[in-house]
Amino acid sequence: MDVSSANLRVLCQIAESGSFTAAAAQLGYTQSAVSRQAVALERSAGVALFERRPDGVRLTRPGLTLLRHARTILASVDAAGRDLSGDGPRTEHVRLGMFLSAGPVILPATLARLGATAPWAKITTREGTTPGLARALRTGSLDLAVLTSRPPHRSPDGETPRLHVTTVQDAELLVAASASGSFAGRTAAHLDELVDAPWIAAPSSSSEPLLGVWPGLPGRARVVHGTRDWLTKLHLVAGGFGLTTIPEGLVPVLPPGVTALRVEGAPPEVRRVLVARLPGPTTPAITAVTHAIVAAGRSS
């Protein structure tokens, strides 16, 4: 193959952006220039690297194979540039994704542990759902992701090779309610009391399930407010405008006016917290961040 680092950067940006147009905007190219480089890459590789779809562009299996090599090559090129220019002390960067409720508890503790044990490992973070973060790992736009799974705890996605996962903890789900409402002074609620309650939940679909309504609730839930933002959810709860489901790890950072209830009359709902990455060799920084997340999660 005869490809340039510019070609490989285009491949990486298309994988991350999901379209030629979005990749062109990020790179400062025209859409036609990105399309030409994509065609040149496929001609050089001798296989189809991109699947053109109505909703954007996905990498084919050969495309994903080339993407993994491209990330390695570009990292080496960037490292060579830093060494030649003598740019400052050596640091390693890790792009970390986290499901929406993990940040308030796991992220600050992880950063504190890294500062003490591996200060050369620097994290950048983004939030997302477990399916979305798993896709980002596959395309190479994330190095690590903190995900959740529900029993029977299958692989985070159906792709091969399977993601490498490390269990952080098993966390029970609870219901958050107003501390001054009908559940004032209580530590538990029966499932029957929740059936007709108003709920505050995030919009969801079959492929992107999000926390909100109690998972084992019989019948159709009455969702009165929809938001992905945890601060909005919990302040609506504090105001007595509905209930929402929370992982028990969120209890230490609940705002005033919110109480956490265990649910009786139904089996416990447990979610597993995982750290996932692509299989294969890893870097010292990814290993250090993984250990810090596991330690932070198990001490929370």
Condensed to tens digits (0 to 9), the pLDDT of residues 233-276 reads: 999 999 999 999 999 888 988 999 999 999 999 999 999 999 99
Residues 6+ away with beta carbon under 8 Å from 285: 92, 93, 94, 118, 120, 121, 122
Q: Of 169, 186, 182, which Cα lies nearest the Cα of 260? A: 186
- 65-121 confidence digits (pLDDT tens): 888 888 788 877 877 776 776 655 568 889 999 988 888 888 998 999 888 888 889
Phi-psi region of 234 (alpha: psi -120 to 50; beta: other; left: phi over 0): alpha
Q: Does domain 92-300 have CATH number 1.25.40.10?
A: no
The CA distance from 201 to 245, in Å, is: 8
CATH number of 5-85: 1.10.10.10
Question: Is the fold of 5-85 the same as that of 92-300?
Answer: no
Phi, psi of 209 (to 5 degrees): -70, 140
Tokens of 18: 């999901």
Supply 168's token pair: 């952080």
Q: Structure tokens of 267?
A: 């089996």
- pLDDT (tens digit, 9 = 90+) per residue, 38-70? 998 988 888 998 998 887 888 888 988 888 888
Would you kindly state where each structural domain of the chain is located, as residue ranges? 5-85, 92-300
